[in-house]
Structure 1
Amino acid sequence: MKLNNHKIWVGAKDYFFIVFGILLYGLGFSAFIAPFGVITGGMAGAGQVVFYATEKIFGFGVPVAVTMYVLNILLLAIAYRIVGKTFVIRTIFGVTVVSIAIGVLMPLFPEPLLKGETFMSIIIGSMMCGIGLGLAFVHNGSTGGTDIVAAIMAKKTNVSVGRTMQYCDFCIISSSLLIFGLDEGIERLVYGFVVLLVVSLMADQTINTNRQAVQFIIFSPHHWEEIATAINNDAHRGCTVLNGMGWYSKQDVKVLLVMCRKIESVTIHRIIKSIDKDAFITQANVNGVYGQGFDEFKLKMPKPKHNRNAQDTASPRAMPDYGDRTTHSGHPEKLS
């Protein structure tokens, strides 16, 4: 029951931050970027392209939110098997929320909040969009579009999310020249790339900040069992017990090794100090932690080269033997 309650709490927290991040993204886009007619990346940018193109051709523009929703659903249908059911469900949720948010907010801001401050407005809006995207992505959510492509790349390789978004958004932003022409399009193109750069940097910074890991080494001779149990039950983090010896005292001691997210470090400190205020603690930042409970190590393995001649002429000597080896005396040989 306690485990189920923890899962419910984690799921509710994820959805809260997904909604918060998406609303932050929608506000930054609708209030600070879209009023200047700057085409951004992602499905929002694609929606802008469709809006301005249909406005020029047919005299009315297809709403950005409608284009975003339709294109996102098509992308999710294609990526379903790769990104997984959970991500798709949360992305559909995110796509719906961001489409509604932009559909509601854009009419509320026909004029920019910072009139006459184009560059400042673009920077503020881009920072809000980047932080919003980062928060949504950290909690396994997405606003769709190029985020889906970024999720696929993150699933298969170690390519940065922000870098993937840059590649995907390049073509969308470059379409400013086709829609507005050289005279007006150049300025919007430059602003579009400024948005792309700031959003990517802020998204990566937000993700890295939330996923940064720390390592604790804890010395508590008399309360190490209580601390280990509390960290395991209350913080839901694993705790490894190592055997050590104090060189001066020549006494055996138990040393606790704990890995956790940086945002969880305050919780770990409170648990330790509530049990043993005299405990000796060292804390260090870790560049990368891979495995259960942390990031998955992704490595693109090269495809093996098949050589028919080599397979046909292969001798038993060429084939590795990982089984038990037996010596001439009949006793198993120890593998070093």
Structure 2
Amino acid sequence: MKQSKSYKLISEYGQIAFGIVLASIGLKAFLLPNGFLDGGVTGIALLAKTFVDIDISYLLVLFSIPFLILGYYTVSKRIVIKSIISIIGLALFIHFENFGTITEDKLLISIFGGLFLGAGIGISIRNGSVLDGSEILGVYLNDKFGFSIGQVILLFNIILFSVTAYLISVEVALYSILTYIVTAKVTDLIIEGFEDFIGVTIVSKKYELIEEAIMKELGVGMTLYKGTRGMGNSGKQVDFDIIHTIINRIDIKRMHRIIDTIDDDAFIVEFDVNSVRGGVLRHYLDKKKSKVLSKA
């Protein structure tokens, strides 16, 4: 029985809400009361909080704005809108909830604070949203200059933790690095490698419509294989094209939605891709100029 669009939408936002709750627990019950930092935009907000008497919820929204603006030109509007809702939701939850401090043990704070925060970020990313704008920065620099998302985030956090060591203390910086490592590993575990790419092979009688929709909605290049004969649940298929493309994992749910709208019986194979060079990896259409991408 096929799931309705409304059910999928409710499921996505429900999971994002759960991710927000987990991230809030990590921040309010572990990191904030003990002055620990995480990486990314969250880390910048936590660092700023140690010097200014401004609620952390306001700082999270404030420091996320430049990355969301960047995301408008980098990822789909749907992802940006969901991210705005998620970040505001996280800020509101942090502002109004009153989790008590669970422990004062520095090692437990780093591990479990990172665990809850990483779980929240991972669940949000898996449902097409981000709670931390550094991922958007990574995607942007990957598109423009070919840097891997992991390299960008790592460099971003090296600078952040160096500033923390200089302005606060080396000990806080070291524990914050541990928090970041735990957060990153838990995030990767939940979303199965956000920093990697994913390959998709699509077999469908409506391949022409799917090809056009993917080009228009996702703006990614693709390779078409000529299929001469195949067997499926509807019998033999002759003279059809097999679509092969590579996308960032954050877009996979959107691709599913596009394909399901056209042919919910399409045969789809997904596989991890850890290294990509050359070709059209990820370009977004310039709708103002009606730019059309050529096939990879």
Q: Give the TM-score, by structure 2 length.
A: 0.62
**Secondary structure at the counterpart of residue 13 of structure 1:** helix
Tell me the residue number matched to 2:278: 301
Work out whether 1:205 is the aligned partner of 2:189: yes
Tell me the residue number matched to 1:216: none
Work out whether 1:77 is the aligned partner of 2:86: no
Instruction: Give the AA of the match of 2:78.
Output: T
In the superposition, relative to structure 1, how do residues 147 and 190 fare at CA in structure 2: closer, same or farther (>3 Å)? same
Distance 2:197 2:41 in 1: 29
Residue of structure 2 aligned with 1:67, choices 56, 59, 66: 59
**Secondary structure at the counterpart of residue 74 of structure 2:** helix
Given that 2:161 and 2:173 are in contact with CA atoms closer than 8 Å, whether structure 1 keeps it comes out as: yes
* Aligned counterparts, 1:135-174, within 5 A: 135-152=123-140, 159=148, 164-174=152-162
Instruction: Give the AA of the match of 1:196.
Output: Y
Deviation at 1:37, TM superposition (A): 0.6
**Unmatched runs of 5 consecutive residues or more in structure 2:** 199-229, 234-266, 281-296
Deviation at 1:205, TM superposition (A): 1.0
Distance 2:51 2:88 in 1: 24
In the superposition, relative to structure 1, how do residues 26 and 65 fare at CA in structure 2: closer, same or farther (>3 Å)? same
Residue of structure 1 aligned with 2:231, choices 227, 231, 241: 241
**Secondary structure at the counterpart of residue 179 of structure 2:** helix
Residue of structure 1 aligned with 2:51, choices 50, 53, 59: 53
Q: How many residues align?
A: 217
Deviation at 1:15, TM superposition (A): 0.9
Instruction: Give the AA of the match of 1:80.
Output: Y
**Secondary structure at the counterpart of residue 18 of structure 2:** helix
Tell me the residue number matched to 2:17: 19
In the superposition, relative to structure 1, how do residues 43 and 122 fare at CA in structure 2: closer, same or farther (>3 Å)? same
Given that 2:70 and 2:136 are in contact with CA atoms closer than 8 Å, whether structure 1 keeps it comes out as: no
Residue of structure 2 aligned with 1:188, choices 172, 188, 199: 172
Instruction: Give the AA of the match of 1:18.
Output: I
Q: Rg bigger for which structure?
A: 1
Distance 1:130 1:24 in 2: 9
Q: For structure 1, which segment, 62-71 or 132-141, has the greater mean C-alpha deviation from structure 2 after superposition?
A: 62-71
Given that 1:52 and 1:179 are in contact with CA atoms closer than 8 Å, whether structure 2 keeps it comes out as: no
Distance 1:66 1:200 in 2: 24
**Secondary structure at the counterpart of residue 192 of structure 2:** helix
Tell me the residue number matched to 1:119: 107
Distance 1:153 1:293 in 2: 28
Distance 2:268 2:141 in 1: 20
Higher relative contact order (CA 8 A, sep 6+): 2
Distance 1:138 1:72 in 2: 19
Residue of structure 2 aligned with 1:32, choices 25, 30, 33: 30
In the superposition, relative to structure 1, how do residues 8 and 295 fare at CA in structure 2: closer, same or farther (>3 Å)? farther
Deviation at 1:209, TM superposition (A): 7.9
Distance 1:139 1:91 in 2: 10
Identity %: 19
Residues 283-314 of structure 1: per-residue CA shift (max 9 Å, x gap): xxxxxxxx9674797844279xxxxxxxxxxx
